[in-house]
Amino acid sequence: HTHTHTHTRKIKKIPLQSCSENNRAAQAVSSKISASFVMNIYGVKIPVCQNPLSAAQSYCVVAAVAIGYVSSLYIAPVIKRAALSALPDGVKAIFPDLFSGRSIVDESRDSPLVIVTRMSAVAASLVVSTVVVSAAVSQANCEIGVSQPSISVSSATSFVVRTAVLGPTPFSLNAMLAAAATAVLFVGSLLHDSILYHPQPLLQASITRFQDCTVHGYARVRDILIGPITEEIAFRGLCLIALFCSEPVQQAARHSASLWTIYVVPPLIFGGAHMHHILEMCKIRGFSITQAAAAASFQLVYTTLFGALVTHIWLLSGSTLAAIIVHAICNFMSIPEFADAWQDRNNRRSVFSAHIVGVVAFCSILWQMQQGAEASCFAQ
């Protein structure tokens, strides 16, 4: 069927929308929507749910994922420490770093024992969260390519695991563009390393930065590997699936309305999940309550904004893998050291110019990704 100019204008005006509006003429022929019909948010196909969750139900599922993730960081390590302490001394001697130091309750989050036990606990929490989200998908009776009149928990689990871990289109062009755009974003930081710290070419400076990172061992594995993988699966993959099954998102997608909840709820949950660092700031680092609250508030702001950005990238690329890579690059590079760069009067102009070029290039690539995703959605 042909598309009217009205539809073309609507696609341009509404950044986040369903492609179902483009199928009105075809739907008029039949009074019943096919069981294989799916709605689109950019390039991401979401299933139509015959019995969608209420907003409160979907928010409870999202909250359960976040609470399970954060609580596992504190509950399971204490249990595991008690179990490990019962092991024979010969076994403990094999991994001395894991059994040295203070009690796990008093140790820093960078302690090897704390890191290993927390990684194990988070993995267990993701398994539980997957079951919870799968039950929600089954209850919502989402059309996920299964011919049965109702969706079993096992079929829902297969769908949830595939979507949360990989994404609907894990190896799309936009997924590769997202990774490239994020690397370009930090060209100013690499130039800063090359000029101010390591008088080396950009490539060698990035290699030196990686070598410096690897000396931190367990902490760096957590920051640039385990953390991005588990957080993106939980706060992007699982949380977005739960929201896709909600009545507000289903209705908004059908009517091409703004789906603001997708850009607000998961990022806020993601930002709030980092507030538990206040406990360590006060107990381990000796911060006052005021200092810890100020530091945690700043972290809440930038992690929430980062969460919104990665959510947008997930929607544009349909790839959890892309979100993981973007997250890992950002953790690896960290926040640019603008203050140090500004103090170097001889090089600050070139460093800040590189930062500007990186931001402009990042935004340009992101814009092209959005245009391509909207064009793909319109074509369908």
DSSP string for 200-268: S-HHHHHHHHHHHHHTTTHHHHIIIIIHHHHHHIIIIIIHHHHHHTBHHHHHHHHTT---HHHHHHHHH
pLDDT confidence of residue 334: 85
Taking Cα atoms as reference points, which of 282, 58, 319, 3 lies closest to residue 171? 319
Which amino acid makes up residue 303?
A: T
pLDDT confidence of residue 165: 94
Measured distance CA(123)–CA(87) in Å, rounded: 23
- 147 Cβ neighbours under 8 A, 6+ residues apart: 35
Quote the distance between the C-alpha of residue 337 and its chain's center. 24
> What is residue 142's three-state secondary structure?
strand
Partners of 142 in beta bridges: 49
pLDDT confidence of residue 373: 77
Angle between helices 348-379 and 289-317 in degrees, nearest 10: 50
Q: Tokens 């094999």, residue? A: 94
- pLDDT per residue, tens digit, the chain (380 aa), is 444 444 444 434 444 444 444 444 334 333 333 333 355 666 677 788 888 999 999 999 999 999 999 999 888 666 666 666 666 776 666 666 555 544 444 466 777 777 888 888 899 999 999 999 999 999 888 766 544 556 777 888 998 999 999 998 899 899 999 999 999 999 988 888 777 665 556 566 566 666 565 546 778 888 889 999 999 999 999 999 999 999 988 888 777 667 788 889 999 999 988 888 887 788 777 788 888 888 888 889 999 999 999 999 999 998 999 999 999 999 988 888 888 888 888 888 888 999 999 999 999 999 999 887 776 655 55
pLDDT confidence of residue 200: 58
Quote the distance between the C-alpha of residue 40 and its chain's center. 20
Structure tokens at 301: 């702001």
Give the chain's length. 380
pLDDT confidence of residue 176: 94
DSSP string for 340-352: HHHH-TTTHHHHH
Residue 135 sits at the vertex; the CA angle it makes with 132 and 139, to the nearest 5 degrees, is: 140
Cα four-point dihedral sign 127, 320, 169, 370:
positive
Helices of type H across the chain: 5-13, 24-29, 55-85, 89-94, 96-99, 112-140, 153-165, 173-185, 187-192, 202-214, 218-221, 227-232, 239-244, 247-254, 260-272, 277-283, 289-317, 320-333, 338-343, 348-379
Residue 326 sits at the vertex; the CA angle it makes with 65 and 13, to the nearest 5 degrees, is: 85
Structure tokens at 120: 């194990």
Measured distance CA(360)–CA(354) in Å, rounded: 10
DSSP string for 362-379: HHHHHHHHHHHHHHHHHH
- Contact yes or no for 130/157 (Cβ under 8 A): yes
pLDDT confidence of residue 216: 60
pLDDT confidence of residue 277: 81
Name the DSSP letter for residue 199.
-
pLDDT confidence of residue 112: 77
Structure tokens at 238: 């699982």
